[in-house]
Amino acid sequence: MKVDRTKDAKYDVRIVNWNLEHERVSRKEYDKFLKTLPDVAENAVPVEAELTPVEIPGVSRK
């Protein structure tokens, strides 16, 4: 079965703020869409990361 995601594209996290600002999507419509999303919190896993400072030539640290 093919799923049509084009109707959900206007809610894409990368462009939804633009769509809201330009009134392509109303806040009420967006909130309604958010309520339809499943809760997938149980799929989350802890992530451990070690960050290493990087020196960038020409940029001084303050």
The stretch 45-62 carries a mean pLDDT of 89
Q: What is the pLDDT of residues 13-51, one digit of tens each?
A: 899 999 999 999 999 999 999 999 999 999 999 999 999
Please, are residues 26 and 34 in contact by the beta-carbon 8 Å criterion? no
Boundaries of every domain in the chain: 7-36
What confidence score (pLDDT) does residue 15 get? 93
Please, are residues 19 and 41 in contact by the beta-carbon 8 Å criterion? no
Report which of 61, 28, 42, 50 is spatially closest to residue 11, judged by C-alpha positions: 28
What confidence score (pLDDT) does residue 24 get? 93
Q: Say how many residues make up the chain.
A: 62
Does the pLDDT at position 4 exceed 80? no
- Predicted TM-score (pTM) of this structure: 0.58
Residue 19 burial (CB < 10 Å; 0-12/13-18/19+)? middle
Does the pLDDT at position 5 exceed 80? no
